[in-house]
Amino acid sequence: MFSLLIEYVEDELNEANGKTGRRIFLSKLVEALFELEQEFTTLSGTERVELLKNIIAEVDMEFQHDSVVEHLLALVEELERINSNR
């Protein structure tokens, strides 16, 4: 699930031609997600949610409603749902 999100953000980055601000935003986001991916399987569900929320909190206001942020929020909601069922 997480690797699919990274793939989606990479695809959006590749398609962000001519949109310098969005390209910078997506580049930073991909970098942050790759860093998190390195330890994702070793983290608890709660830790995963908190780290993803931290990434979302660092998104500039200009991109708060970007489709990739919406996907990140959906992942957080899904992880929270999974955590609550344990």
Across the chain, the runs of DSSP E, i.e. the strands, are none
Please report, rounded to a whole number, the percentage of residues in the chain having pLDDT higher than 90: 90
Closest to 57 measured CA to CA, from 44, 43, 72: 72
| Domain assignments of the chain as residue spans, ordered by start | 2-84
Q: Give per-residue pLDDT as tens, 19-52.
A: 899 999 999 999 999 999 999 989 999 999 999 9
Tell me what pLDDT residue 86 has: 76
> What is the distance between the alpha carbons of residues 39 and 34, in angstroms, rounded to a whole number?
9
Give CA angle at 11 (43, 1), nearest 5°: 30
